[in-house]
Amino acid sequence: MEEKELEFFKGLLNNQMKELLNQAGCSVADMSEEAGTCCDPLDRASLEIDRTFTLRIRDRESRLIKKIKKALERIKDGTFCICERCGEKISMKRLKARPVATLCIECKTNEESIEKVIGT
Ligand SMILES: [Zn+2]
């Protein structure tokens, strides 16, 4: 993949990460800490009520943030467009739609059909 294409995805991923962090505010700013440690103590009571909800959002967002970080690492070490499973190139179209993708469309489709079989 060309340098400027990598730069494009890097920008895309960084923006996505920023958006996630903004949306989540302090709840994701310090993911490993207990809820409330980075907020005003007066807000703790209401925070506790929202805790389950916050944790749920956190979980979803932290997972996505992890994926974004991983994708950024893949850009750095030059494996960004390479499928983790089969080593083939992931198509540009797929990466544009889903820059955090680590599998090519074929492997992803295979994985999903396996999941479906196990799930039922
Ligand atoms: Zn593949």
Q: Which residue would you say has higher pLDDT here, 26 or 97? A: 97
| Secondary structure class of 94 (helix, strand, coil) | helix
Asked whether the beta carbons of 112 and 82 are under 8 A apart, the reply is no
- Report the pLDDT value the prediction gives residue 39, as an integer from 0 to 100: 54
How would residue 91 be classed by pLDDT, with cut points 50, 70 and 90? very high
- Report the pLDDT value the prediction gives residue 22, as an integer from 0 to 100: 84
Residues contacting residue 10 through CB under 8 Å, at least 6 positions apart: 72, 75
CA–centroid distance, 21 to ligand 1, in Å, is 31
Question: Which domains are seen in the chain, by residue range?
Answer: 1-78 (1.20.120.910), 81-120 (no CATH)
**Any idea which residue has 């903004």 for tokens?**
22
CA–centroid distance, 19 to ligand 1, in Å, is 29
Please check the confidence at residue 86 and state whether its pLDDT lies above 60.
yes
CA–centroid distance, 108 to ligand 1, in Å, is 7
Instruction: Say how many C-beta atoms besides its own lie within 10 A of residue 3's C-beta.
Output: 7
Asked whether the beta carbons of 64 and 24 are under 8 A apart, the reply is no
Question: pLDDT tens digits, residue range 27-69?
Answer: 544 444 444 445 565 566 665 656 676 777 778 888 999 999 9
